[in-house]
Structure 1
């Protein structure tokens, strides 16, 4: 992998808004999309679905059937010489070149009048119907010959009609001419909306290539996107410090990514404040005051617009990140609040702390909705699984508890750790859990089987600090340590992949941002730091001493 842009500076993803590329309300654009989908369904053999879509896309089957019925009636009327019926049917355009066909119909009627020696009717018909369409004659002398026939004995007397075969054959020839015009129009229409082969797949491949081109990191080898349901994100193992965020007057305890595409970092500190930072520039955008004691934890909601913070002042505060204002203060805890997070759906906030009680508050009203009681010592960490039906908590009593949100009951307790549990985290799929403990180990758990599957060691976590770790991308775990080093582990092997040095104090927490392609850490040295991939530096396995290939690790993930 090679970093795109100057070393140490992440690439800015300023991409033109897709709304500016084309107008989705343009009927032509809509028709093009339908045509591509129809082609794809046809290529994949979904004929029934193709027919259904074709009918629903303003090309109704009953309209086609009605048109075909009128065509059949018109042919029949011509063959039978039912000219009033022909006139009636021709009032509705059945073909693109309707006037050329009408001229041929009127000419046929005129010739039949001549054949029957109905001169008066022929004259009136010539002057009223054919004369206005004289410019559509098939030969330069045709109209002149039609006029000559008013005084001739038979149709064949005029040079233009010497080969006239009679009423019956000429009617058949007229019907044949009508069918040829229909066939020609169908060919033109099909060519006009011809969809290049595999057009939808081609555009999707171009879209993925565009996303790769604008990703933070560019691969030196060809990579494949494994899903079209999410934007492509390059996968690398960060190996170098990117930015340093300075401003807190005391240690930085916690942080969270926030805003659209994680463009902000919100941090909490023992200086009683939260600070909002620009992720890319490390500029401090504002100080959020309100807490009267240290901030232990902060987490953004699903949209990144709001965040919730937990503090030693016994309160939980909700913040509007864009406005940099506190919108609500949730009270009720009897002691430090160590952890707080949003419940999926963002309608409730879960919090836990020194008083051992886990509380759920309604965000809109601020009222206490439910409590979860069962831990014997302080609750140090609270999270929810992706489905929102479970709350998972870690505690100083060395246990991890699973709570049913509906009933408020503890449905499972895990007791494998030998020290206080300092944090818990769940991966995006909801099948793995990560826990940190003061027994100097982080553990991976299979939530479905409710059993441990690996231990992550190498860091230090034995003191009174809350050292936290979290999942990073699809195959990494990143965490802090009391030795001031940031650790990265491989989920599959549980080995340390990277030790990152730069902080001069305890690293309390580390958070990964998929959108930014980097992770951030908070430390006792009063700073935050972001870490990213620098292709000028090698990445080595600390257990084997061999170079690790980012692409090989991606394949393993």
Structure 2
């Protein structure tokens, strides 16, 4: 029989070979081979997978096995989900602190990468080139490209389920997630030179060199108001869930302003007069973390307007301080010296330091950007090590980072993207 004829057969055996064709019992068997973290990830893929896992009580069974619990009495769904979430966070912290490290890297851009943002397993990257790219963290594959206007360079960006918002030169640009070209650009020249942006639908807030923040209404497509924050340039921005705008300055101060009333709420002064380079806000704990040009990091409780700690965590500029969304069990810090550091967010104490071990092997080739993916090993290094004596190939400068469950994504000025995966 001709192979082409056989492959084109319309018989039932050949029409449902995808995973959707498997019944619940088979899916349950497949899921039973997974560990707790991967099983939790599967519940977020789609409703059908989540339904199979919930119905089979695989998470509860796996939890009992790991905890040595043999009482099979039932508990409320909320109780189980809370216990499983706590166990997942505990494993996340443990692996980042002391687990084995695999690093998957590829050349994501021909030019340098300055920024990255990660949500639901997707990472958006961009820098000195004229394109932003959306990547799958698990498959190391480029899923979409977004081209910038010819005028102006990319300064900052963010994205959600349906759109990408970018600060390009002195204008705001908007892309639909399925569109390559910008569908909207604000009029240029309407605000001074800017250095940062934060975005929570439907508003984008721009931090400018004149110490003010400009608010752009994405639906009305107009600048709605101006907020006075600092006497010097606004260098980094974040936005809390209760509409509190948080802005770092070139003088090391953090200003808090009410976005709804445009009134300044407080001005927090650190002991470090070097400019702040990055902010990270935890909506769960109402704590904001900052990093500075001098390598110092600090933590503030915004409910009490009180500094919790301030510490020198790097000998050079800190480019990014991040934690996993809705969790502050581990704080990741990256900067010019190229060492990926993990800090205790409660105290500022060091937990671990990671660099790249320069042995590698090629894995595959990205279909979109024709880039070879290479796997390397990560090394744990003690805090008293002479990092200046470690070759730069093992610690390339980190321009930005993002934290996910048992993983950290770092971007670099040479155009590389690295996914650090941590395991037991």
Instruction: Answer yes or no: is the 8 Å Cα contact 1:361–1:368 preserved in 2.
Output: yes
Question: What is the rounded CA distance, in whole Å, between the counterparts of 1:321 and 1:493 in structure 2?
Answer: 39
| Post-superposition CA distance 1:474-530 (Å, at most 9, x none) | 31111212111111111123212121213643212221124xx42211222321212
* C-alpha distance 501-5 of structure 1, shift in aligned 2 (>3 A): farther
**Corresponding residue number in structure 2 for 1:387:** 242
Match of 2:320 among 468, 488, 497: 468
Asked if residue 340 in structure 1 is aligned to residue 197 in structure 2, the reply is yes
**Corresponding residue number in structure 2 for 1:489:** 343
Instruction: Answer yes or no: is the 8 Å Cα contact 1:485–1:500 preserved in 2.
Output: yes
More strand by share: 2
Asked if residue 525 in structure 1 is aligned to residue 420 in structure 2, the reply is no
* C-alpha distance 440-504 of structure 1, shift in aligned 2 (>3 A): closer
Instruction: Answer yes or no: is the 8 Å Cα contact 1:469–1:477 preserved in 2.
Output: yes
Match of 1:407 among 261, 269, 284: 261
Question: What is the rounded CA distance, in whole Å, between the counterparts of 2:412 and 2:291 in structure 1?
Answer: 17
More helix by share: 1
**Corresponding residue number in structure 1 for 2:208:** 353
* C-alpha distance 283-17 of structure 1, shift in aligned 2 (>3 A): closer
Instruction: Answer yes or no: is the 8 Å Cα contact 2:146–2:179 preserved in 1.
Output: no
Could you tell me how far 1:282 is from its partner in structure 2? 1.0
Match of 2:290 among 435, 451, 460: 435
Largest Rg, 1 or 2: 1
Q: Find the residue that maps to 1:326 and give its secondary structure.
A: coil
* C-alpha distance 219-208 of structure 1, shift in aligned 2 (>3 A): closer
Match of 1:328 among 168, 179, 184: 184
**Corresponding residue number in structure 1 for 2:147:** 289
Question: What is the rounded CA distance, in whole Å, between the counterparts of 2:65 and 2:354 in structure 1?
Answer: 23
Instruction: Answer yes or no: is the 8 Å Cα contact 2:251–2:273 preserved in 1.
Output: no
| Post-superposition CA distance 1:176-204 (Å, at most 9, x none) | xxxxxxxxxxxxxxxxxxxxxxxxxxx79
| Post-superposition CA distance 1:337-371 (Å, at most 9, x none) | 3222223xx12111213343211111112111111
How many residue pairs were aligned? 331
Structure 2: which 5+ residue stretches go unaligned? 1-32, 70-74, 357-393
Question: What is the rounded CA distance, in whole Å, between the counterparts of 2:411 and 2:65 in structure 1?
Answer: 29
Instruction: Answer yes or no: is the 8 Å Cα contact 1:300–1:341 preserved in 2.
Output: no
Question: What is the rounded CA distance, in whole Å, between the counterparts of 2:60 and 2:218 in structure 1?
Answer: 41
| Post-superposition CA distance 1:258-295 (Å, at most 9, x none) | 3xxx1321011112321111111111223311144443
* C-alpha distance 226-511 of structure 1, shift in aligned 2 (>3 A): farther
**Corresponding residue number in structure 1 for 2:114:** 253
Question: What is the rounded CA distance, in whole Å, between the counterparts of 1:314 and 1:22 in structure 2?
Answer: 47
* C-alpha distance 391-287 of structure 1, shift in aligned 2 (>3 A): same
Matches within 5 A, 1:359-370: 359-370=214-225
Q: Find the residue that maps to 1:228 and give its secondary structure.
A: helix
| Post-superposition CA distance 1:89-133 (Å, at most 9, x none) | xxxxxxxxxxxxxxxxxxxxxxxxxxxxxxxxxxxxxxxxxxxxx
Instruction: Answer yes or no: is the 8 Å Cα contact 1:255–1:297 preserved in 2.
Output: no
Question: What is the rounded CA distance, in whole Å, between the counterparts of 2:301 and 2:183 in structure 1?
Answer: 38
Match of 1:422 among 266, 269, 277: 277
Could you tell me how far 1:230 is from its partner in structure 2? 10
Question: What is the rounded CA distance, in whole Å, between the counterparts of 1:386 and 1:326 in structure 2?
Answer: 28
Q: Give the CA RMSD over aligned residues.
A: 3.4
* C-alpha distance 393-321 of structure 1, shift in aligned 2 (>3 A): same
Instruction: Answer yes or no: is the 8 Å Cα contact 2:42–2:49 preserved in 1.
Output: no
Q: Find the residue that maps to 1:368 and give its secondary structure.
A: strand
**Corresponding residue number in structure 2 for 1:451:** 306
| Post-superposition CA distance 1:146-185 (Å, at most 9, x none) | xxxxxxxxxxxxxxxxxxxxxxxxxxxxxxxxxxxxxxxx
Matches within 5 A, 1:198-217: 206=57, 208-209=59-60
Instruction: Answer yes or no: is the 8 Å Cα contact 1:377–1:396 preserved in 2.
Output: yes
Q: Find the residue that maps to 1:338 and give its secondary structure.
A: strand
Larger relative contact order, structure 1 or 2 (CA cutoff 8 Å, min sep 6): 2
Instruction: Answer yes or no: is the 8 Å Cα contact 1:481–1:487 preserved in 2.
Output: no
Matches within 5 A, 1:52-71: none
Question: What is the rounded CA distance, in whole Å, between the counterparts of 2:55 and 2:133 in structure 1?
Answer: 40
Asked if residue 264 in structure 1 is aligned to residue 122 in structure 2, the reply is yes
Could you tell me how far 1:401 is from its partner in structure 2? 0.5
**Corresponding residue number in structure 2 for 1:315:** 171
* C-alpha distance 282-401 of structure 1, shift in aligned 2 (>3 A): same
**Corresponding residue number in structure 2 for 1:57:** none
**Corresponding residue number in structure 1 for 2:331:** 477
| Post-superposition CA distance 1:58-106 (Å, at most 9, x none) | xxxxxxxxxxxxxxxxxxxxxxxxxxxxxxxxxxxxxxxxxxxxxxxxx
Question: What is the rounded CA distance, in whole Å, between the counterparts of 2:294 and 2:411 in structure 1?
Answer: 21
Could you tell me how far 1:431 is from its partner in structure 2? 1.7
Q: Find the residue that maps to 1:491 and give its secondary structure.
A: coil
Instruction: Answer yes or no: is the 8 Å Cα contact 2:116–2:400 preserved in 1.
Output: yes
